[in-house]
Amino acid sequence: MRDVSTPQALTNGSPRIVLAGAVAAALATTVVGCGTGQAKVTLPTKPAHVTVVAAPPARPSARQRVLNAYRGYWGATSQAVDSRSPARARAILARYIPRAAIGGLISGLQTLWRNDEMSYGRPLLHIISVTVSPGGVATVHDCVDVSHTGLADRRTGQIVGGLGDSHENLITRLVLRHGRWLVSGEIPVVRACSY
């Protein structure tokens, strides 16, 4: 163990030890000086009743509501496939698709259910643009990656269909009905897209 009690021991010691000792001495002096000669300060009294008013949450923009509906639609279609029940599928899809279109989709789902198929994977959305018209119509242009999305045999897990393109150029039309944006159609675009 090194003796650091003499000046010679300090000069022969490590510069870090000397520097650390100097810093410690300076801090000790500062702390001791803080406790003396201080003026007393009177703090204001706390009010007896404090009312906190919560600001109302900001209403999402029309663009954000369209995007939320579009994203929700993709998840709802997979949930409807996996529900294996016309009533449950109808309830799931009713939040994202106009009522008049649901019957046709349920018929298509029943074919999948008879074949014992379920959804597989999830699309990766790459939104290119969103357009919202004043008349309650919106479009979402997406370069969606559906290369890991498809259908699988429910018993074996074997992929039986789907697995589309990694750059699917798609324009989706949404309509505003009773305050809710609903997907009313999709148009595949032949031209390639990128993200």
Q: Which helix H or strand E contains 119, and what residues bound it?
A: strand 117-120
Q: What is the DSSP letter of 145?
A: B
Nearest to 82 by CA among 69, 73, 92: 92
Phi, psi of 137 (to 5 degrees): -125, 140
Q: Alpha carbon 104 to chain centroid distance?
A: 31
How far apart are the C-alpha atoms of 169 and 144, rounded to whole Å? 7
| Residue-level length of the chain | 195
**Residue 55 pLDDT:** 76
Nearest to 171 by CA among 181, 186, 184: 186
**Residue 161 pLDDT:** 86
Domains of the chain: 62-188 (3.10.450.50)
As beta bridge partners, residue 177 has 180
**Residue 8 pLDDT:** 42
How far apart are the C-alpha atoms of 140 and 184, rounded to whole Å? 12
Phi, psi of 64 (to 5 degrees): -65, -40
Please give the structure tokens belonging to residue 28: 């000790």
pLDDT of the chain, 195 residues: tens digit per residue: 434 344 444 344 444 443 334 344 443 444 444 455 567 877 777 777 767 777 778 889 999 999 999 999 999 999 999 999 999 999 999 999 999 999 999 999 999 999 999 999 999 999 999 999 999 999 999 999 999 999 999 999 999 987 789 999 999 999 999 999 999 999 999 999 998
Q: What is the DSSP letter of 156?
A: T
Phi, psi of 4 (to 5 degrees): -110, 20
